Structure 1
Amino acid sequence: MFMLRVYSLPIILLNLVVAVFCADKYSREDFPPGFVFGSGTSAYQVEGAASEDGRSPSIWDTFSHEGKMDGETGDVSVDEYHKYKEDVKLMVETGLEAYRFSISWPRLIPNGRGPVNPKAVRYYNSLINELISHGIQPHVTIYHYDHPQALEDEYGGWLSRKIVKDFTAFADVCFREFGDRVLYWTTLNEPNVFPLFSYDVGMLPPNRCSFPFGLNCSQGNSTSEPYLVAHHLLLAHASAVRLYRKKYQSKQLGFVGINLYAFATYPLTNSTEDVLATQRANDYFVGLIANPVVFGSYPDIVKKNAGSRLPTFTNQEYKQVKGSFDFLGINHYMSIHVKDNSASLKSEYRDFLADMAVEMIADIDSSKYEFPIQPSGMQASLEYFKQAYGNPPIYIHENGQRTRRTSSLEDTSRVKYMHGYIGSVLDAIRNGSNTRGYFTWSFLDVFELLGGYEPCFGLYYVDINDPQLKRHAKLSAHWYSQFLKGRPVSSDSDGLIKLGKDFSLLSRRS
């Protein structure tokens, strides 16, 4: 999950007006036929078993073991590797229709290339079969920030074009081993975030940056590496999609897409400068990935401001990248405002953020840990993709409320958040958005890539100090279950209080 900080980047709302009120009372039946509701996690964040059954270290193992997460690691996390049957049972009880998870590259192909780990194949087959046997769709992300450390050591991971071939081979194994049962594939998670946080400001592995743009990095180049990495991510994505379409899609009948992080973004003022800055921010942040896969080329403003630091596509690459998706996945959590900062363009030595030339202002109350509840931002984001990119099929892969870790199960702020944002999705659909699914982040309280075990997004609390890592349903799990099982839900405060009382009684009886 992508968390806002000083360097955060935007998705912009174009020059359009979107309704600010979301549906208040609605039910599962109000959504179109075929629309799917689920929840999600990712491999390093949930599996644990970091050194078991042939798995090798990923860049996240290295990063966390170097103390970069205040001593916290995903070595055990919530141990879904051993507890997946228990978790699927909880999914069934909750009423989930789909589960989004990722496949660990260093577990499946420990050296990054070459021999496939049969124990990993067995594990993912077991998980997928368990889901399907209970009527839950598996939605699989191939890469979620965790390539093998072996490839990082050998040639620099995403800094090298060599990774395109290795990633394609990894995807090939996934399609071959699991594609007869997996119909929804996402090649990459947030390739618009990974280059910035990992290669510009250096706050995520492989922890590369250069002064003065990032801190605490021993190596890197913030001015060029984010663009290079983004380019290689796009080439790898397009290569995997080409492989799937050529070799598997006609037989397996599945769909393949790519995932983007999306803010709802508004100009701070109605000045021409701030309006243009918001468009520029959108072109830089979302357009860096979305424009190539939809139109075949980078946005003009990115080409202009980055200059020779931005790689170019060959004619063959252009043809492969353009149209390389069946759907777009969207991760959305909050709204922000954008202020022009064109002065940053006067510096000859610039990173990605300076090239963007904007100042981000978060709509966050610093006295509160939770995200503000701004459901109209969800509709604004979906409306933007509808207008700017031809209304492609959209799956909302992540949306959820952050709270501090606590044993209290009455997470009323998460319930209010989910109610508002799901209602906003419904409004967007009624306004013509081609949105086809919604997944909460996250199913369990997991190891968060920004914050470790303090921030929690789960429907289920996991006591990480309990040797059994017992799962405990929160009020939000109960609310989501009520919704998924067809009962009308609303934001009525009295109803929420009653739900909380009923849930407490149910919890005690169980």
Structure 2
Amino acid sequence: MGRRLLIFLPRLLLLLLSSHAATAFRFTVDDFPDGFTFGSGTAAFQYEGAIAEDGKSPSIWNTWAHSARNPNERSGDIACDGYHKYKEDVKLIKDIGLKAYRFSISWSRLIPNGRGAINPKGLQFYNDLINELVKEGIQVHAVIYHLDLPQILEDEYGGWLSPRIVDDFTAYSDVCFREFGDRVAHWTTILEPNIIAQGSYDMGAVPPGRCSNPFGVGRNCTVGNSSVEPYLFLHHSLLAHSSAVRLYREKYQAVQKGVVGINLYSLWIYTLTDSAEDIQATERANDYLFGSILHPFLFGDYPESMKKAAGTRLPSFTSYESELVTGAFDFIGLNHYSSIYASNNPDASKMPVRDQAADVGALFRATRDGETSTLIPSGRVVDPQGLEHALRYIREKYGNISIYIQENGRGQLSDDLMDVERVDFLKKYIASTLKAIRDGANVKGYSVWALMDLYEIFGGYKAYFGLIRVDFWDKRRQRQPRLSAYWYSDFLKKNASIQVESGAATTTYHAQI
């Protein structure tokens, strides 16, 4: 009886949500272009667990999660136990009706020493996962790197701070392309390098947690240089990505017929006032957020505002490197969640440490000549129009490049199955994705973050982003679809009609999973 009631309640609630709707913007999945892919995703460390099983070595995220710097109460040692439960999860993916599933490969599981010998058990796991997805007709979207560098490379030469990472990452990518590329046609090399530069090497808020006083957030910084290291990471990640892309194009692409790209963290940045200073501050902020990656790909160099602000701290591209990075992508992935405001701040160096996380001058420590952009939370946690603005900005400044929205979603503070606010959020952002396409954006896909509750870097097991609830307090890690999973399934499998009006969204619901 309890289970039957659990299945019935999401349907009843969604029927109630659809009972009062005025005509506004209405659409179905059929309104999206042919070949458009809807999906969802996870990430290796947040999903797999089995941190020391079957030959896996520690990654920088394993080290971080067991250190005093970890802001969460628990580690990700078990996470969703996806290493053992992937077959069950692929069935859920199929039942919901996802066309694509995005996951990341753990470098330290596949090549425990960072280079050299492949771990046969790690290779088997990813082959088994990919084969299961292919068997169910689900597109495989694989990420090669997401914050889980083998700790051995961090210890040996400083990881991403050394140019040696380029050769090791290229060799690792070669293994991925060779072993999985016959079934994986959609590759993302690195997730969010534009914001990891700040989070990992400026603020010290994510692995490997490097920073220098007084710029670290929350904890004292004892290792790192916040003024220099973010730029080194950014530069080496661009070169590593571009080297892997060149390898793929020369050795694999003609036969495997896949695409390869990189992922950016995306915000829409509103100008706080219409003053010339704030307008310029917003332009500088966009140059760091988008231009730090896209400008080299299109023009072979960093934006002028970055070079002016950072001076000699920003590495220069050699002529060879400039040629290597130019055009080194088939698509750009965006992780987009919200919007923010920017304002000029001529004296950011004196900001209290607790406020530095909101400072784009702090982003890469770029302050020079009183030109610093401060980001101010907008209060627009749900701002779907911001996604349209971001897509239009990229198109107008960098051309009509292929884009996949690889993460978009909303967390909640409880593991409630009736996630009405998340349903409303997804409706609005999917509607804005379609509006942007009709406005000319070359968007190829949309992916909800996340398929299920994961071990989140900010929030641990208490930040619930999943379409599927995971009971982290039960060793079996039982899964239960939320209201949002039923809604997404209806949209994808039954072509449910969705209506969005003046920020409100309604739907007609009739699906089962």
Match of 2:96 in 1: 94
Q: Is the 8 A contact 1:345 1:354 kept in 2?
A: no
Match of 2:7 in 1: none
Q: Is the 8 A contact 1:65 1:71 kept in 2?
A: no
Match of 2:231 in 1: 227
What secondary structure, in the 3-state scheme, does the structure 2 residue paired with 1:319 have? Answer: helix
Match of 1:191 in 2: 193
Aligned residue among 280, 297, 320 for 1:276: 280
Aligned residue among 357, 364, 380 for 1:352: 364
Q: Is the 8 A contact 2:263 2:334 kept in 1?
A: yes
Match of 1:45 in 2: 46
Aligned residue among 168, 172, 175 for 2:174: 172
Give the deviation of 1:344 after TM superposition. 3.8
Give the deviation of 1:404 after TM superposition. 1.1
Task: Provide closer, same or farther for how the CA distance between residues 189 and 32 of structure 1 changes in structure 2, counting only shifts above 3 A.
Answer: same
Give the deviation of 1:218 after TM superposition. 1.9
Give the deviation of 1:490 after TM superposition. 2.7
CA distance in 2, matches of 1:345, 1:62: 31
Matching of residue 489 in structure 1 with residue 490 in structure 2: no
Aligned residue among 247, 252, 259 for 2:251: 247
1:40-73 CA deviation, whole Å, 9 max, x = no partner? 1110010111111100000010011114133311
Aligned residue among 402, 413, 421 for 1:413: 421
Matching of residue 141 in structure 1 with residue 143 in structure 2: yes
Matching of residue 381 in structure 1 with residue 393 in structure 2: no
1:356-377 CA deviation, whole Å, 9 max, x = no partner? 711111122xxxxxx7221101
Give the deviation of 1:342 after TM superposition. 2.9
Q: Is the 8 A contact 2:80 2:477 kept in 1?
A: yes
CA distance in 2, matches of 1:304, 1:188: 26
Aligned residue among 408, 413, 420 for 1:404: 413
CA distance in 2, matches of 1:343, 1:145: 32
Match of 1:12 in 2: none
1:452-506 CA deviation, whole Å, 9 max, x = no partner? 111111100101011211111101001100110112123588966x85xx89xx7
Matching of residue 453 in structure 1 with residue 461 in structure 2: yes
Aligned residue identity for 1:461: R
CA distance in 2, matches of 1:281, 1:491: 31
**Is 422-431 or 372-381 further displaced after alignment?**
372-381
What secondary structure, in the 3-state scheme, does the structure 2 residue paired with 1:404 have? Answer: coil
Match of 1:436 in 2: 444
Give the deviation of 1:385 after TM superposition. 1.1
Aligned residue among 353, 377, 382 for 1:362: 377
CA distance in 2, matches of 1:389, 1:432: 13
CA distance in 2, matches of 1:450, 1:391: 33
What 5-or-longer segments of structure 2 have no aligned partner? 1-22, 352-360
What secondary structure, in the 3-state scheme, does the structure 2 residue paired with 1:192 have? Answer: helix
What secondary structure, in the 3-state scheme, does the structure 2 residue paired with 1:262 have? Answer: strand
What secondary structure, in the 3-state scheme, does the structure 2 residue paired with 1:265 have? Answer: strand
Q: Is the 8 A contact 2:427 2:505 kept in 1?
A: no
CA distance in 1, matches of 2:100, 2:113: 31
CA distance in 2, matches of 1:75, 1:253: 36
Matching of residue 157 in structure 1 with residue 159 in structure 2: yes
TM-score (norm 2): 0.89
Q: Is the 8 A contact 2:424 2:505 kept in 1?
A: no
Aligned residue among 69, 83, 86 for 2:85: 83
Aligned residue identity for 2:374: E
Give the deviation of 1:350 after TM superposition. 7.6
CA distance in 1, matches of 2:90, 2:434: 27
Match of 2:4 in 1: none
Q: Is the 8 A contact 2:214 2:221 kept in 1?
A: no
Aligned residue among 108, 111, 124 for 1:109: 111
Aligned residue among 114, 117, 120 for 1:118: 120
Give the deviation of 1:229 after TM superposition. 0.9
Give the deviation of 1:23 after TM superposition. 7.0
Task: Provide closer, same or farther for how the CA distance between residues 334 and 304 of structure 1 changes in structure 2, counting only shifts above 3 A.
Answer: same
Match of 1:3 in 2: none
Match of 2:65 in 1: 64
What secondary structure, in the 3-state scheme, does the structure 2 residue paired with 1:455 have? Answer: coil
Aligned residue identity for 2:378: D
TM-score (norm 1): 0.89
Match of 1:5 in 2: none
Match of 1:286 in 2: 290
Q: Is the 8 A contact 2:213 2:220 kept in 1?
A: no
Q: Is the 8 A contact 1:23 1:424 kept in 2?
A: no
Match of 2:358 in 1: none
CA distance in 1, matches of 2:499, 2:87: 32
What secondary structure, in the 3-state scheme, does the structure 2 residue paired with 1:276 have? Answer: helix
Match of 2:355 in 1: none
Give the deviation of 1:354 after TM superposition. 4.5
Give the deviation of 1:25 after TM superposition. 2.0
